[in-house]
Amino acid sequence: MDTVVLLIVAGAAILMWELWQRKVAAQADEPASAVTRIEQVVTEIQALQQRLGSAADRGDYSEAIHISERMLALSDDHFRDDPDVILPLLAALANFHHLADQPREAIPYLQRSIQLREQFPALHNDQADSLSQLADLHIELGTRSEALTLIRREVELRRRHTPPNEALLAALCKLLSLSLEEPAMAQPLRRDISATAAILKQEVVAKMAREASINVSHLLGEGNVRAAWSAAETAALLGAAAHGPEDDITFIYRGNLAEVLRRNGHLEEAETQFLQLITDEGKRENGAEGLHAACGNLALLYDQCGRPEDAAQMRARQMELLQESDANTGSRFNALNNLAVSQSSAGDHPTAANTFANALALAPEGDGIDPRVWADTLNNYASTLINLKRLSDAGRIYQKVLERKKAGIDIPITSLASSVNGLGVVSEQLGKLAQAQTLFERALAIKEKHLPTDAIALETARHNLGSVYARRGNTAQAIQMAQQVLASREQRLGQDHPQTNLARQNLELVSKDLPATRADVDTLMVDITGGQLFPYATYDFGRARDTGISMVLVPEAQALTLHRKLKLALPHGWQCFIGSTRWLGEENHDGMAELVSIQAESQFDCLLAARTDAVNHGLDTAGIIRTLQDYDQRFGIRIYSASTDTVGFTLLRAPADLDAFAQELLDFCMDLEDVELIRQMITASGNRVELWWD
């Protein structure tokens, strides 16, 4: 039986003892008729108590509430306002409602408990406990002002009647957690907490600090960064009071607080905390581990602020510290993971993939690593591999997270959802839409159950699922997903934010019975790429124009990245490719590339739009397409560029005989010149193949 339920039933047993005492007293002082009636009431309540224990034992809290209400009604009729009789029943009803996930229904019983205890000064400690319990309910329900009022009453009551104790300190910490967003209220409370903690026994304060620190990790694992902030503040304040400002554990608590401030978006305050921590850690002989951890987290903060040079400087210092010190595996793992995330965010996916691999080489099965950090590292690594078009490798990495979860490793549910979603992305890019839909639906179900309703991850999951619905012709379901994404962004970002406008345009596209129009796609191209729109695309090295299609000009160095983004955003029935990059006609756009969108069902239509051929080698457009279709059937290819005499594509599956395929490519495109060079091209990062014919 649950501990709370045991306490409730124990309270009911105490009630029965009090009722028997009343029965004995009644027999001595009351008329026979009154004694008989009291005996009947006690007998009925005894029977109800047996039923209550049975209902609580099987977890039937609705029945337990019904029985407790009947017991309270009987007790009210015969023992009204007797605290020994009424209070246990009020406590039972409040707790059973809470166990039944009905916190609002518990409030009246707690309020009556407080009012009843106010009539008996000797019960001031119990009254303070009831105030605390009622305040917790209001915190759970999000009614902050009511909670503040109750906790202030609790603090006043405890100070008036008892010396400073653990309960008073806990109440002050609770007040601080509700006041963190208001510095004028929070700062005096911090001083009050420190002063109160200094009076109490060191072991009591240390225990409270340790419990708060454990709670920080738990809350971060659940994604509840706001509550983690409160717990981190408590741990830092109480840790300093219990252990002193120079103790190792105090520095750990301070580092946790700085990191939680970063995750809550209080970047200036977090930076101040990190810089002070780095200064203080640098003065300590045993501060190396905390110092490199602070440098790594401050680098993440600078990434968040858009200060890449400062981030690079912090990471360089962190890596120096790791090399100089005898850092443990976990510290090295975290440092490499954070570095890889930064590299990936900067678009350097090949380097990021190598850094992720180096981190995972330290702990291939996650031994000695926080399961959440290890799983997130695997997910980030797999996402980077997707960017490099190493889809099979990415799929294996995501599967590893799922396998470890099945093996009983404590992988957070949100990390598991990310892995499932990643497998959906892999399946979608491999063209396995039915499988992708199943995976996206599973990922969304997990996230809807465990994440806040305004979480960005929910928007991503719904967008992914809606995209597959649209591609499979499930228009109604695609519209539902697009509507939910739009509603979320309107609430989170406002009506006029660019991301909200993109969601609105996507909804308009999937809501139409007819395919998306050229105007729709033109708008989407500009929004995605930020490039200049032209009402035509060129061919024949920029000398001729096709006015039936349109394009945007983008920097050639960014063309691949922007192509990937646009391809994911395009509605069903549209293809895009990188077109002309050479300009031999009247137009001169050196350093720029065309990003062209066409209405087509097949990627091979891109070659028709670009008029790609190799006339000097006896190959027309249709002949090139036939060969590429053969490659697609054998290995899977994705065309990303096509121009007058070039075509670029990625290989989704590596050929079994690499040398034979390299020779095959050389026979198809003799201008590639050398089998070894072709082999290097195929095996390089991204598995991209570039063909050209002079």
Q: Which helix (H) or strand (E) element contains residue 618?
A: none
pLDDT one-digit tens code per residue, 503-542: 888 888 777 644 567 887 888 899 889 899 999 999 999 9
Q: Is 473 helix (H, G, I), strand (E, B) or coil?
A: coil
At residue 324 the predicted structure's pLDDT band, cuts being 50, 70 and 90, is: low
Between CA 158 and CA 164, with CA 162 as vertex, the angle to 5 degrees is 80
Look at residues 171, 169, 161 and name the one whose alpha carbon lies nearest to residue 136. 171
Ramachandran sector of residue 347 (left: φ over 0; alpha: ψ -120 to 50; beta: rest): left
- pLDDT-derived band at 288 (thresholds 50, 70, 90) equals low
CA angle 543, 546, 551 (to 5 degrees): 95
Q: Can you read off the two tokens belonging to residue 431?
A: 């063209």
Q: Is the pLDDT of residue 36 over 80?
A: no
**φ and ψ of 654, to 5 deg:** -70, 140
Count CA atoms closer than 13 A to 252's CA, side-chain side. 15
Cβ-based burial of 104 (10 A; exposed 0-12, middle 13-18, buried ≥19): exposed
pLDDT at 4: 43
The predicted pLDDT at position 346 comes to 67
Burial pattern 331-361, b for ≥16 Cβ within 10 A else e, equals: bbbbbbbbbbbbbbeeeebebbbebbeebbe
Could you give the angle at the alpha carbon of 261 between the alpha carbons of 346 and 304, nearest 5°?
15
Confidence (pTM):
0.48
Three-state DSSP class for residue 454: coil
**pLDDT tens, position by position, 121-173:** 666 677 788 888 888 888 888 888 888 888 898 888 888 888 888 889 999 99
Residue listed under structure tokens 């406008």? 501
pLDDT at 2 over 50: no
How far apart are alpha carbons 306 and 101 in whole angstroms?
Answer: 43
Decide: 178 and 139 in contact? Cβ < 8 Å. yes
Neighbours of 222 (CB within 10 A): 15
Q: How far apart are CA 672 and CA 685, in angstroms?
A: 18
Separation of alpha carbons 39 and 16, rounded Å: 12
The pLDDT, as a whole number, for residue 474 is 76
Least confident of 401-405, 507-511, 525-529, 660-664: 507-511
Domains and CATH numbers, the chain: 412-513 (1.25.40.10), 518-692 (no CATH)
Question: Helix, strand, or coil here: 690?
Answer: strand
Above 90 in pLDDT, residue 581? yes
Q: Under a CB-based contact definition with an 8 Å cutoff, are residues 409 and 369 in contact?
A: no
Q: Which residue has the higher pLDDT, 648 or 388?
A: 648
* CA 109 distance to own-chain centroid: 37
Task: For residues 137 and 374, give the distance between their C-alpha atoms in angstroms, rounded to a whole number.
Answer: 35
Structure tokens at 290: 């905390």
**pLDDT (tens digit per residue) in 43-76:** 777 777 778 777 777 778 788 888 888 877 877 7
Q: Within the chain, what is the greatest distance between any pair of CA atoms?
A: 122
**DSSP H helix total and E strand total for the chain:** 30, 9
Token reading at 524: 């989407």
Q: Give the E-state strand segments of 491-645 in sequence order.
A: 532-534, 537-539, 544-546, 550-555, 574-578, 592-599, 637-642
Name residue 554's beta-bridge partners.
593
pLDDT single digits (tens) 182-210: 888 889 999 999 999 999 999 999 999 99
| CB-CB neighbours of 590 under 10 Å | 8
CA atoms of 203 and 39, how far apart (whole Å): 50
Q: Which amino acid, one-letter code, is at 117?
A: R
| Model pLDDT for residues 92-117, shown as the tens digit of each residue | 788 887 787 787 888 888 888 777 77
H/E stretch holding 368? none
Q: Give alpha helix (H) positions in 494-558.
A: 498-511, 518-529
Q: What pLDDT, on a 0 to 100 scale, did the predictor assign at position 14?
A: 44
